[in-house]
Amino acid sequence: MPKLWSETIEAHRRGVREAILDTTAALAAEYGLLSVTMSQIAEQTGIGRATLYKYFPDVESIVRAWHERQVGHHLHHLAEVRDRAREAGERLEAVLEAYALIHQRRGQHQRHHRHGAELATFVHRDEHVSQAEQQVLDMIQGLLAEASEAGDVRDDVPLEELARYCLHALAAASGLLSEAAARRLVEVVLAGLHPTVDSTDQQAAHDRDPQ
Amino acid sequence: MPKLWSETIEAHRRGVREAILDTTAALAAEYGLLSVTMSQIAEQTGIGRATLYKYFPDVESIVRAWHERQVGHHLHHLAEVRDRAREAGERLEAVLEAYALIHQRRGQHQRHHRHGAELATFVHRDEHVSQAEQQVLDMIQGLLAEASEAGDVRDDVPLEELARYCLHALAAASGLLSEAAARRLVEVVLAGLHPTVDSTDQQAAHDRDPQ
């Protein structure tokens, strides 16, 4: 039964890979990312160094894989939340709230570990946005486009810029101590997105005098 | 003239320290933070390894010192901008814009270096906010308090949370390609801060029916 055997091997490999990611995240959270070595990771995972190198060439690539996995989980959760709501405005609000709560809970978790945030911040770079992060950005932009058609979103700023604004602003939830505070943050972010009397006035003024 | 001599030594020490910070930032931007060693830093700075260890115990502490220096420069710039404007609303807007532009320019710079963002993101952790970052947060909160007294800021969210919202949201400017886009971002952030008709309605509805 060669097929079953290869499936078993595949499952085993996935299991080892997951264990490597979990071990690395735990070591980094406890001792700090800069002090984690490949030898430590192999030992704590319970595999040989040579085996570890068959999976990953260095600590940095493990950290990246860990991050991709995290964002993948979040993406899945956000898609579920999105698909539960019907109306465009509701969908946008529900996803933004879910995103804020992910950050709020992560922040809470990280405050319990001396080096808890290093892993996340190390890989969190605007210019090398991972594929999964780009998908989150695309999802938000899509929801903004829907809500925009319903007239719920200001039209004086490109949707891609508004999507970036949402993601960055909501990440402030990682420093908030309660879910209630995270929900207040969502209200503030949404207020920034709405077409405001102010912006309409400014737009009208700008149309009259394009100086 | 012992005093002059000690001043000379002090100036020399400051110069070496500055050079160490500059070298480390350049090495990290070029090769990646995880690959930079104390030996490399000493060599590139043109000092001995033993001398380097008299200044800093490890790479991480150099990175922290570099970051403190950067935020210190920014703080100085923001204070200047603040003191040039008169009216509370203007001061808030001017400082938020200056903060957005710092990020926009930094992002631009970082896109030119493979590892340009690592240094900044590595030290950028909510739970271990540095003293200088706390000062930026305090400055924004102070400006919000001023603007709040003038009735320009919503009163349904604590000012500290609004200050965090500002800093996080404006950091989105690091992914924006133009200063015009950074200025649009400031408009969006300000719209989130204003007392909105929406939030007044919601507050009134909530007061009527506190379910």
Q: What is the pLDDT along chain B (211 residues), one digit of tens a residue?
A: 556 787 888 889 999 999 999 999 999 888 888 889 999 999 999 999 999 999 999 998 998 899 888 888 999 999 999 999 989 999 999 999 999 999 998 888 777 766 655 555 555 544 445 677 788 899 999 999 999 998 999 999 999 999 999 999 999 998 899 999 999 999 999 999 999 665 445 445 445 454 4
CATH number reported for the structural domain that contains residue A76 in this entry:
1.10.357.10
Residue A205 has pLDDT above 60, yes or no: no
Does the distance separating the beta carbons of A172 and B164 come in below 8 Å? yes
Residues A141 and A111 in one domain: yes
| Residue B205 within any structural domain of the chain | no
Q: Closest-CA residue in chain B for A127? A: B111
- 3-class SS shares of chain A: helix, strand, coil, % to 5: 80, 0, 20
Residues A87 and A51 in one domain: no
Residues A16 and A77 in one domain: no
Domain residue limits at B65: 60-199
CATH number reported for the structural domain that contains residue B19 in this entry:
1.10.10.60
| Residue B206 within any structural domain of the chain | no
| Residue B138 within any structural domain of the chain | yes
Residues B36 and B71 in one domain: no
Burial of B32 (0-12, 13-18, 19+ CB in 10 A): middle
Residues A107 and A179 in one domain: yes
Domain tally, chain B: 2
CA A172, B165, A28 angle in degrees (round to 5)?
20
Q: Which distant-in-sequence residues (6+ apart) come within 8 Å of A79 by Cβ?
A: A139
Give pLDDT tens digits for B151-208. 999 999 999 999 999 999 999 998 899 999 999 999 999 999 999 665 445 445 445 4
**How much is the pLDDT for B30?**
84
Residues A49 and A71 in one domain: no
Structural contact between residues A107 and A174, judged by C-beta atoms closer than 8 angstroms: yes
The whole-angstrom separation of Cα B175 and Cα B155 is 30
Residues A53 and A70 in one domain: no
| Residue A31 within any structural domain of the chain | yes
| Residue A208 within any structural domain of the chain | no
Last residue of a domain, one of B41, B57, B73: B57
- Which residues of chain B from 14 to 53 reach within 8 Å of chain A, CB to CB? 32-34
Torsion sign, CA atoms A34, A40, A46, A51 = positive
| Residue A207 within any structural domain of the chain | no
Instruction: Give chain B's radius of gyration (CA, Å).
Output: 21
Q: Which distant-in-sequence residues (6+ apart) come within 8 Å of A133 by Cβ?
A: A71
Does the distance separating the beta carbons of A32 and B60 come in below 8 Å? yes
Q: Closest-CA residue in chain A for B36? A: A34
Amino acid at B74: H
| Residue A206 within any structural domain of the chain | no
**How much is the pLDDT for B108?**
83
Residues A32 and A112 in one domain: no
Residues A88 and A169 in one domain: yes
Residues A191 and A142 in one domain: yes
- Is the interface score ipTM higher than 0.95? no
Residues A71 and A170 in one domain: yes
Residues A72 and A45 in one domain: no
**How much is the pLDDT for A127?**
41
- Both tokens of B42, joined, read 């000493």
Give A34 to chain B, closest Cα distance, Å. 7
The whole-angstrom separation of Cα B133 and Cα B33 is 21
| Residue A205 within any structural domain of the chain | no
The whole-angstrom separation of Cα A176 and Cα B195 is 21
